[in-house]
Amino acid sequence: MTTARVGESPPEVRGVKRALGSHSGRQLGTLAGLLTLCLVLWAATPHFLTVSNLLNVLEQTALNAVVAVGMTFVIISGGIDLSVGSVLALAGICLALALEAGVPAPAAIAISLVVGGACGLVNGLLITLGRLPPFIATLGMMSVARGLALMLAEGRPISGFGEGFRAIATERVLTIPAPVVITIVIYAVAHFVLTRTVFGRTTYAIGGNEEAARLSGVQVRFHKTAVYGVAGLTSAAAAVVLTARLNSAQPTAGTMYELDAIAATVIGGSSLLGGEGTVTGTLIGALIMGVLRNGLNLLNVSSFLQQVVIGVVIIGAVLVDMTLKRRR
Amino acid sequence: MTHTPEPVAPPVLQMRGISKRYPGARALTDASLEVRRAEVHIVVGENGAGKSTLMKILSGAVRADAGEIVLDGSKVELDSPLRARKLGISTIYQELSLVPHMSVAENIFLGKTPTRWPGIVDVRRMRQEARRILDSLGVSIDSDAPIHSLRLAQQQMVEVARALSDNARILVMDEPTSALSQREVEQLFATITRVTSNGVAVIYISHRMDEVFRIGHRVTVLRDGRHVATRDIEDVTAAELVRLMADREVADHYPRRRHALGDELLRVDRLNGGGLKEISFALHRGEILGIAGLVGAGRTRLARAMVGADPIAERRVVVHGSARSIETPADAVRAGIGFLPEDRKQQGLVLRLSVERNISMSHLSALARFGVLDGAKERGEADSAIRSLRIRTPGSDQLVLNLSGGNQQKVVLAKWLAAHADILIFDEPTRGIDVAARQDIYLLMNQLVENGAGLIMISSDLPEVLGMSDRILVMRGGRVTRELAAHEATDAAVLQAALGVPA
């Protein structure tokens, strides 16, 4: 009803709110969850709060975090992408084959990104021109990309690359591992794109109300296709980091990554209905999952029980979020 | 009035001292409502006056913070919609709640399907019962037809039938005629009369003065969450009601000031396809072109075809003297055509985005350099639109979701003005908007044409079309069947053309 009565906040408060973004309240909640988790682990085990362990957590989290960036774009636009894990594997295999064939590392990385982006664009075209539900289109791509990866690699891992390429994983910038730096850069760019560019704005508008966006002159098909392209690109970026770290590309890599990425995105406050979400939220979501896994390992919790705990956390986080939203 | 209920019918419902606070807003303060058996009790008030909240409390969807509800002399606790329904209070919402792919009979008996053996549907009994209820309403609807094949008015009848199958004592209708054509409204009124003759009380929320006086027995006015007055309909005038609602005199319902027309802005030449046949017309600067007709006559289809929203076979549109091909809404925006759809929430706005983001949506690239938005420019535009269109919002960062209907409509308008559209197509511009905000919309329309824009106004509200238009096109069966200048347009002339009745 009328909001004219809903107490006006003074301009300076509004300015702060604006700076934090409209989802700031929700994000502070997630951040508080992450910090609480860290405090509990700090109290529970002396091994948690050490520089080497924290860097380890960040490195472990980097992969899921990068894949989740693309997932966040897709989910904000009102879609879903189940193919990110398989696309990661295919992009990794293409990268490895190129390196093996003697292609210089930068060119091989470019090839990998093109393959990932192309897979995403195919998803997008199936959804926009083919009018398939995103769930179905990307479910198909999940199988196709995985199959192609296995075919190209003949079912075996491809290993052993040059020092120059492996530096992507081994190099450190001011003691911070390169994969973490890459992740931070990707997040900075993604945050800028979502909050400050036409592309980002359009992504929210399409996810919030596709028909209204279309009638306002937004090129919905073009943008939606591009959004899936972004998801393909971030999967390929993750493939580059993973391949360098393992010094090996495996056609079975990235299995179940789509679920981790969706979980990080949703814990981070994106709505599966579209129109809502931030990459900072997703980053916090990915960190929660990473810290949780690390902590459970340090506490010697069996891997079976770990799965149960992580499942409970995902459900719990979304349950709390939905309850709070309903209260509003 | 031709029918009045017995002089002192006992109250079937009394709501007393009802208060409800939402975080940061007081929706109802000590509000009351008393409804008698077999009466049509109209509830009027501006948007935000508390009508919807009061009805939500009555339907069990929302709980009151304070107050009591007495039904047929005994105090009741309405803690859930199911409880309210069991007590005989049925609500028919603006958005119908039927299952589109199920049959009429199945919908009527949703949640209480008659069974033979446990779990086995007694199809024959369900059909017979449905038939009986529909007959008692005097409507001819096939009880086996799937809901999605029915017209909106028929779907409403099914909702009414469903309420009656619950043995409703009180039927709440929230703006039931807002999407109906004139003839369908007549059907609905006939149905309401039948329902009340069986002793059921109807609580009827409306913004339309003519309806209030057509079917109401008594009327209650709410303002700012409080009960202002309850009157017998014979003892009150329209002007008085408006004054009670707004607490001010709204002098002129349709403040149209007509001027000489300017150059031709838009010409549509023999538009065909999608159910539209051979439609040609022109629109000039400074003109409001009204489009009247019954629901289903093709008015909205015409609007959507003009802005490229739907694919269509043949579309020749000349804008500003040059032929334009308009295949998509984006083409229409470039040609300076803005569309304000009837269903603002579904088609006009992204409700969970802020006012400024909704306004900028129509021209993002104009606000950006190399794809990066100029945030200050975007906010500046929004702030100046809020001032010039008098949009009531705490700020440009407020979610559109939280604005009232009239202010939402202004945001849609701001979106097009910011994109420099000078041809504006309004589809039902004041549907669901309260009286005072309507005035505001009309004044803005005046201002727009004075500044050289051309307006096309589709409306089912006949007084509105007659009051605001310079020229009126009447549509019927996908064709324009009549063109009337303002001075020759009368209720009768428009209705005759719309119905296809010879003069």
CA-to-CA distance for A71 and A259, rounded, in angstroms? 10
Residues of B in contact with A222 (CB under 8 A): none
Q: What is the DSSP string of B402-455?
A: GS-HHHHHHHHHHHHHHTT--EEEEESTTTT--HHHHHHHHHHHHHHHHTT-EE
What percentage of chain B exceeds 90 in pLDDT? Answer: 38
Q: Rounded CA gap, B352 and A26, in Å?
A: 15
Q: A21 in a domain, yes or no?
A: no
CA distance A280 to chain B (A): 18
Asked if ipTM goes beyond 0.90, one says no
Angle separating helix axes A178-196 and A163-170, nearest 10 degrees: 70
A46-99: pLDDT as tens digits: 888 888 899 989 988 999 999 999 999 999 999 999 999 999 999 999 999 999
Mean pLDDT across chain B: 86
Given a contact cutoff of 8 angstroms between Cβ atoms, the answer to whether A264 and A14 are in contact is: no
pLDDT 10s digits, B249-292? 444 567 777 777 888 999 998 888 888 889 999 999 999 999 99
Of residues B231, B259, B255, B223, the one with CA closest to residue B26:
B223
Q: What percent of chain B has pLDDT over 70?
A: 93
Assess whether pLDDT exceeds 90 at residue A243: yes
**Burial class of residue B292 (count of CB atoms within 10 Å of its CB; 0-12, 13-18, 19+):** buried
CB contact under 8 A, B350 and A14: no
Return the bridge partners of B44, or none. B221
Percent of chain A at pLDDT exceeding 90: 65
* Cβ contact, residue pair B346, A209, below 8 Å: yes
A9 touches chain B (CB under 8 A): yes
Contact A1 B309 (CB under 8 A): no
Question: Quick one: pLDDT at residue B141?
Answer: 86
Please, is A303 exposed, middle or buried when counting C-beta atoms within 10 Å of its C-beta (0-12, 13-18, 19+)? exposed
Is residue B482 packed enough to be buried (19+ CB in 10 Å), middle (13-18) or exposed (0-12)?
Answer: buried
Look up tokens 């120059």; give the residue: A164
Residue that wins the pLDDT comparison between A174 and B414: B414
Q: What are B125-142's pLDDT values in tens digits?
A: 889 989 988 888 878 888
B353 contacts A275? CB cut-off 8 A:
yes
What's residue A4's pLDDT? 38
The pLDDT confidence band at residue B503, using thresholds 50, 70 and 90, is low
Instruction: Say what the pLDDT of residue B94 is.
Output: 63
Indicate the residue of B24, B368, B371 with minimum beta-carbon distance to A6: B24
CB hemisphere CA count around A84 (13 angstroms): 34
Q: Which of A216, A219, A222, A326 to mutate to test the interface with B (most CBs of B within 10 A)?
A: A216
Residue B97's pLDDT is 77
d(CA A251, CA A89): 5
**pLDDT value of residue A214:** 93
Q: Is the pLDDT of residue B317 over 90?
A: no
Q: Is the confidence at residue B46, as pLDDT, over 90?
A: no
Q: What's the confidence (pLDDT) of residue B172?
A: 93
Please indicate, yes or no, if residue A44 is contained in any of the structural domains: no
| pLDDT-wise least confident of A315-319, A321-325, B475-479 | A321-325
Number of domains within chain A: 1
pLDDT tens digits for range A7-45 = 334 444 444 444 444 455 667 778 888 999 899 989 988
CB contact under 8 A, B333 and A217: yes
Position A22 scores a pLDDT of: 44
pLDDT at B248 over 60: no
Taking the Cβ of residue A10 and every Cβ of chain B, the question of whether any pair is shorter than 8 Å is answered with no
Task: Give DSSP secondary structure letters for B371-387.
Answer: TEE-HHHHHHHHHHHHH
For residue A186, tell me if it sits in a domain: yes
Please list, residue by residue across A281-298, b when 16 or more beta carbons sit within 10 angstroms of its beta carbon and e when fewer do: bbbbbbbbbbbbbbbbee
Residue B350 sits at the chain A interface (C-beta within 8 Å): yes
pLDDT for B3 equals: 54
**pLDDT at position A1, please?**
37
Average pLDDT, chain A: 88
**Residue A238: predicted pLDDT:** 96
What pLDDT shows up at residue B95?
64
Strands B322-324 and B314-319: antiparallel
Contacts of B394 in chain A (CB under 8 A): 3-4, 6, 8-9
Q: What is the pLDDT of residue A16?
A: 43
Domains of chain B: 13-87+202-249 (3.40.50.300), 264-499 (3.40.50.300)
**In the Cβ-directed half-sphere of A291, how many Cα atoms lie within 13 Å?**
24
CA end-to-end span of chain B: 28
Which residue from B53, B364, B393 is facing A201, i.e. has the nearest CB? Answer: B364
Taking the Cβ of residue A131 and every Cβ of chain B, the question of whether any pair is shorter than 8 Å is answered with: no
The span from the CA of A48 to the CA of B182, in Å, is 73
How close B365 gets to chain A, by Cα (Å)? 7
What sign for the dihedral angle of Cα B69, B72, B75, B77? Answer: negative
From B164's Cα to the closest Cα of chain A, the distance in A is: 30
Closest by Cα among B22, B69, B71, B73 to B50? B22
Q: A216 to chain B: which residues are within 8 Å by CB?
A: 329, 333, 361-362, 415
Residue B188 scores a pLDDT above 70: yes
- Chain B contact for A219 (CB, 8 A cutoff): yes
Report CA-CA distances (Å) from B310 to A23, A211, B326, B340. Answer: 35, 12, 11, 15
Question: What residues of chain B, 415 to 434, have a C-beta less than 8 Å from chain A?
Answer: 415, 419
CA distance A12 to A62: 36
Q: Which residues of A touch B400 (CB under 8 A)?
A: none
CB contact, 8 Å: B167 with chain A?
no
Instruction: Look up the domain containing A263 and give its range.
Output: 62-275
pTM of the model: 0.74
> Is the Cβ pair A197, B373 closer than 8 Å?
yes
A44 or A151, which is more confident: A151
For residue A264, tell me if it sits in a domain. Answer: yes
The answer to whether position A1 is within a domain reads: no
pLDDT of residue A88: 97
Does the pLDDT at position A250 exceed 80? yes
Which two structure tokens, joined as six digits, stand for A207?
């996810």
Nearest to A202 among B352, B364, B419 (CB): B364
Residue B247: what pLDDT? 63
DSSP state letter for A1: -
Of residues B338 and B98, more confidence is placed in: B338
For residue A177, being part of any structural domain is answered with yes
Beta partners for B333?
Answer: none
Classify residue A141: in a domain, yes or no: yes
Evaluate whether residue A128 is within a structural domain.
Answer: yes
Identify the CA nearest to B160 among candidates B126, B202, B121.
B202
**pLDDT at position A51:** 87
Helix (H, G, I), strand (E, B) or coil at B473: strand
Measure the CA–CA gap between B339 and B321, rounded to whole angstroms. Answer: 20
At residue B110, the pLDDT reads: 83
Minimum CA–CA partner of A273 in chain B:
B352
How close A29 gets to chain B, by Cα (Å)? 20
User: Which two three-digit tokens encode residue A262?
Assistant: 């969706």
> Could you give the strand order of the β-sheet that contains B423-427, starting from the edge strand earlier in sequence?
B337-340, B423-427, B454-458, B288-293, B471-476, B479-485
Of B22, B309, B350, the CB nearest to A275: B350
Query: Which pLDDT score, from 0 to 100, does residue A326 have?
Result: 67
Q: CA-CA distances (angstroms) from residue A117 to A87, A92, A153, A234?
A: 9, 13, 20, 8
Q: Which residue of B has its CA nearest to A213?
A: B361
